[in-house]
């Protein structure tokens, strides 16, 4: 609960200070608890609405699935893109790295979303069988927004 309150405060501050060139750290990222409508008879429903449940407007969503066991995804950073990463089914781990410190999050609940700021290297590992990773992104796909090598990433971070 404390973690959720801290994340809400961080996101509020990020919204007020929306400068994509800010030097975000992994402590600007974290897990948000999403809205949950529970019915013991009919199951659960989670809603995500722009501007209400999440700190940016979603321009694009995509999902990763059928990732073979032992395979990794990600292995890049974004310059301006904000993301929410959700394990809508199964589980996987996400390691965030700001070039100083790394933090690994295990995502295994569809009502939790990992908020990732720009300028953070991420890798996704340990996909369970049947895992589906939903990504909500603040921008349309743009290859120029990617930093694809770790060497380029450390250089980019130093220049921020
Ligand atoms: P990539 O972002 O590298 O995947 P991951 O980080 O999950 O391993 O994307 C894989 C491929 O899909 C790459 O060729 C770019 C393409 N792609 C799109 O065309 N549009 C998109 O929105 C995304 C996310 C990827």
pLDDT in tens, 116-127: 999 999 999 999
The answer to whether 20 touches 160, Cβ cutoff 8 Å, is: no
Express each pLDDT in 4-61 by its tens digit. 555 665 665 565 555 656 789 999 999 999 999 999 999 999 999 988 888 899 999 9
Nearest one of 104, 158, 129, 116 to 29, comparing CA atoms: 116
Phi, psi of 151 (to 5 degrees): -65, -45
Kindly report the protein residue whose alpha carbon is nearest to atom 14 of ligand 1.
143
Q: Which ligand 1 atom sits nearest the alpha carbon of residue 135?
A: 24
Measured from the Cα of 76, ligand 1's closest atom is 6
What is the average per-residue pLDDT within 71-100?
Answer: 98
The DSSP bridge partners found for residue 147 are 77
Token pair listed for 95: 């390691």
What residues are annotated to the active site? Answer: 76
Residue nearest to atom 1 of ligand 1 (CA): 74
Q: Say what the pLDDT of residue 51 is.
A: 80
Counting ligand 1 atoms within 8 A of each CB, the residue from 74, 124, 140, 144 with the most, and so the one to mutate, is: 74
Pocket residues: Cβ below 6 A from ligand 1: 60, 62, 64, 73-74, 76, 141
Tens digits of residue pLDDT in 106-150 = 999 999 999 999 999 999 999 999 999 999 999 999 999 999 999
């Amino acid at each position: 609960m404390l973690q959720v309150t801290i994340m809400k405060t961080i996101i509020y501050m990020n919204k007020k200070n929306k400068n994509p060139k800010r030097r975000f750290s992994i402590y600007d990222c974290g897990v948000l608890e999403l809205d949950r409508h529970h019915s013991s008879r009919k199951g659960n429903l989670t809603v995500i609405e722009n501007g209400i449940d999440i700190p940016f407007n979603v321009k694009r969503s995509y999902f990763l699935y059928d990732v073979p066991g032992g395979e990794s995804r990600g292995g890049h950073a974004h310059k301006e893109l904000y993301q929410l990463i959700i394990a809508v089914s199964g589980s996987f781990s996400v390691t965030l790295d700001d070039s100083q410190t790394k933090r690994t999050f295990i995502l295994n609940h569809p009502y939790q979303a990992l908020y990732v700021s720009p300028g953070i290297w991420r890798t996704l590992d340990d996909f369970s069988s049947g895992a589906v990773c939903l990504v909500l992104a603040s921008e349309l796909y743009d290859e120029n927004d990617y930093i694809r090598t770790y060497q380029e990433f450390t250089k980019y971070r130093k220049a921020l």
